[in-house]
Amino acid sequence: MDYLKPAEVVTAMIEAGTRKAALPALDLLVRGALSGAILGIATHLAITAAVQTGVPLVGALIFPVGFVMIVLLNLELVTGSFAVLPMAQMDNGIRFADTLRNWAYSYVGNLIGSLAYAVLAWGALTMFGEAAGGPVADRIAAIADAKTVAYAAHGGAGWAAAFAKAMLCNWMVCMGVVMSVVAQSTVSKIVAAWLPICIFFGLGYEHAVVNMFVVPAGMLLGSKATLESWWLWNQIPVTLGNLVGGFLFTGLALYSTYRTRAVKATPVSEKAHAMP
């Protein structure tokens, strides 16, 4: 059957969280780096499409290609793990130390891959600094400004806005993880995961791993952002907001309504595919 019921989905996510907690550090770093680079490529593609067509929604429709690849390859995306690992912990399958270990290595891996692609994208757009980057480069720089100096201009309200956008973002990202588990065939996984990812990108919400690419790339391409403004006004509040949103709106919410109100379901590991 090409569908798992919600209680089975929660069981599958708990099992996935348990497996993720046991991954060696090298696997977390490599899979995390691949995820960061793939999301950077998808973001670059979405911005290019929006610039070429003049329709930002086109970029949102295209962006989920990166998330789909991450899901199908079972790579490590820390924002998805913000929901999955706590579910396994709440089920007494892993310890808090295991959760923190996964998050730390995945985050570092995501950052490495994102920064590597940012440098490569800068080189491709500008002939490694020998030419102007063109409209796409200008747009990336403008987005970096909007994600840093624009928040800084509003002080605490700007920081809070970044945090709120990040909560809403990771609600949809983690729903993409959930939807990829609900569906069982490859095609249905792609379609189901596509929907919430398109929503977050189209609404302009804040995703920590996407920003690991777009802000540094913007800095290389002429943005007014600095290392300090990137981390203080974006990366830190967005990471925290992603964590809270993913845990509260997906991990805790689904666990509390489907796992604790019924006898624990029979493991579905033979049916469930892995997830980011």
pLDDT of residue 271: 44
Which residues span the domain enclosing 244? 6-259
Q: Is the pLDDT of residue 18 over 90?
A: yes
Tell me whether residue 271 is in a domain: no
- The string of pLDDT tens digits covering residues 121-170 is 999 999 999 999 999 999 999 999 999 999 999 999 999 999 999 999 99
Rounded to two decimals, what is the model's pTM? 0.93
Question: What's the total number of domains in the chain?
Answer: 1
pLDDT of residue 266: 47
Tell me whether residue 275 is in a domain: no
**DSSP secondary structure string, the chain?**
-----HHHHHHHHHHHHHHHHTS-HHHHHHHHHHHHHHHHHHHHHHHHHHHHHS-HHHHHHHTHHHHHHHHHHT---HHHHHHHHHHHHHTTSS-HHHHHHHHHHHHHHHHHHHHHHHHHHHHHHHTTTTS--HHHHHHHHHHHHHTTHHHHTTTHHHHHHHHHHHHHHHHHHHHHHHHHHH--SHHHHHHHHHHHHHHHHHTT---HHHHHHHHHHHHHTT-S--HHHHIIIIIHHHHHHHHHHHIIIIIIHHIIIIITTSPPPPP-TTTPPP--
Tell me whether residue 192 is in a domain: yes
Tell me whether residue 184 is in a domain: yes
Tell me whether residue 276 is in a domain: no
Tell me whether residue 274 is in a domain: no
Tell me whether residue 220 is in a domain: yes
- CATH code, domain with 95: 1.20.1080.10
Q: Is the pLDDT of residue 247 over 80?
A: yes
Mean pLDDT score of the chain, rounded to an integer? 94
Tell me whether residue 52 is in a domain: yes
